[in-house]
Amino acid sequence: MSMVIDLFRKYIHIPSASREDTHQKPSTPEQLDMARALEEDMLKMGLADVRSDGHGYVYGRVPANAEKQSAIGLIAHIDVVDNEPCAPMNEKIVSSYDGSELYIGNGVTLSCEKYPAMKDWIGKDLIVTDGRTILGADDKAGVAEIMALAYRLINDKSIKHGDVLLAFTPDEEIGAGAADLDIPAFGAEFAYTVDGGTLGEVEYENFNAASARISFTGTAIHPGAAKDHMKNAALMAAEFASMLPDAETPAHTEKREGFYHLVNIEGVTERASLTYILRDHDAQKLDQKKQMLNALADIINLRYGESVCSVQIREQYRNMREVMESRMDIVKRAADAFESCGVTPVFPPVRGGTDGAQLSFRGLPCPNLSTGSINHHGRSECACVQDMEKMVDVLIEIVRAR
């Protein structure tokens, strides 16, 4: 196997799930194991300025061998989601996928019918798990591709380039990865996150995002004496949820359509709560979703009494298109790199967020690139060997001297 695949298979065996219910940085100690492994590998490769900050951020530099070139950053995150197990890892290579339904184990099957992107992988080699865990391609694939790029640049002096700056971040999956990346010390003029899906994707727009917690206060009393006295907070929560548009959920939307996503519900008679995430590529439409929640709270309060329902909204991230529209030269550089490698670039809107969105608003323009993997965050996650290898070629063309 190639170096990028060897690195990928090494890194996915290091469990590094992040968790939202902690107040540490990084959120889990396992991410520090991944950070240490990267730091060791970078030092062995001979990168310059290798350093980690003890909080899961790791930096390094491939020194320039050409003058008057932009300092380009490449970024990937070291954490994986914790909604499914990430260990024990038992990955396997499926050689020359023939396009038929593929049973990988533990009741998990993959097929072109279920996942149309796999049609482009017929005849190629796939990396899958045994169906008991996620693969961790989000974003160990991006990590491995950046590291393989660094190895090639260090060992092939015929590739001319400016400073290539590497950064690996923790806690991206809980929305906290970009906040503490030291942009001035990083030193990039612009950057790319390598944290996408199918080969050829160049993403420069993403959801505007907010979260909302709706709280309900009821009145508990013995049900035998409840008439005209009981106010059931759990029923209020159910009523509130039922008033939101049925068609505006993740299961019914695609492309640039936004949604309300109920991620948690808790309740008893005396108190209850709903937690939503709100998403829309259009900032005005996201504002309308926030207004809808407040309007429904007003209805609940009119029906059941003043202040029985309250809404707390927290802003999460914004659509980086606002920044990238003035730096489309960076997007074009990536698109040209794909084309030079025989890959047609596509520009899908991200139905989620990336570290690049936060970094763009912090002053580091940072679109997102594909990794050659699909079905992230679930046990059907898989990656394509040849597409991951091609991504290393694409990264070479991105940083190549102009």
- Predicted pLDDT of residue 32: 97
From 292, 317, 342, give the residue that closes a domain: 317
Is the pLDDT at 1 greater than 80, yes or no?
no
Domain that holds residue 333: 3-205+319-399
Strands 102-105 and 164-169 come out as unpaired
Mean pLDDT of 115-135: 97
- Predicted pLDDT of residue 20: 83
Q: What would the pLDDT profile of 238-297 be if each residue is shown by its tens digit?
A: 999 999 999 999 999 999 999 999 999 999 999 999 999 999 999 999 999 999 999 999
Is the pLDDT at 231 greater than 80, yes or no?
yes
Shared domain check, 363 and 216: no
Look up the CATH number of the domain holding residue 295: 3.30.70.360
From 270, 294, 317, give the residue that closes a domain: 317
Shared domain check, 179 and 162: yes
Least confident stretch, 50-64, 125-139, 191-205, 353-367: 353-367
- Predicted pLDDT of residue 136: 98
- Predicted pLDDT of residue 126: 98
Annotated active-site residue 125? The verdict is no
Shared domain check, 329 and 309: no
Shared domain check, 135 and 240: no
Catalytic one of 30, 41, 79, 203? 79
Shared domain check, 310 and 323: no
Is the pLDDT at 317 greater than 90, yes or no?
no
Shared domain check, 305 and 338: no
- Predicted pLDDT of residue 326: 96
Shared domain check, 94 and 159: yes
Is the pLDDT at 226 greater than 90, yes or no?
no
Rounded to the nearest 5°, which phi and psi values hold at 34? -65, -40
Shared domain check, 52 and 156: yes
From 280, 299, 317, give the residue that closes a domain: 317
Annotated active-site residue 79? The verdict is yes
Is the pLDDT at 353 greater than 80, yes or no?
no
Q: 171: cis peptide before it, omega within 30°?
A: no
Structural domains of the chain, count = 2
pTM of the model: 0.88
pLDDT exceeding 90 applies to what percent of the chain? 92
Q: What would the pLDDT profile of 148-187 be if each residue is shown by its tens digit?
A: 999 999 999 999 999 999 999 999 998 888 889 999 999 9
Shared domain check, 362 and 243: no
- Predicted pLDDT of residue 354: 81
Look up the CATH number of the domain holding residue 352: 3.40.630.10
- Predicted pLDDT of residue 179: 86
State how far Cα 276 lies from the chain centre.
18
In this structure, which amino acid lies at residue 62?
V
Q: Residue 22 — pLDDT band, cuts 50, 70, 90?
A: confident
Shared domain check, 325 and 386: yes
Catalytic one of 172, 195, 201, 387? 172
Please enumerate in sequence order all residues whose Cβ is within 8 A of that of 288, keeping only pairs 6 or more positions apart, or say none: none
Query: Is residue 276 within 8 Å of 260, Cβ to Cβ?
Result: yes
Shared domain check, 336 and 268: no
Shared domain check, 149 and 99: yes
For residue 251, give both structure tokens.
């299961």
Q: What would the pLDDT profile of 29-78 be if each residue is shown by its tens digit?
A: 999 999 999 999 999 999 999 999 999 999 999 999 999 999 999 999 99
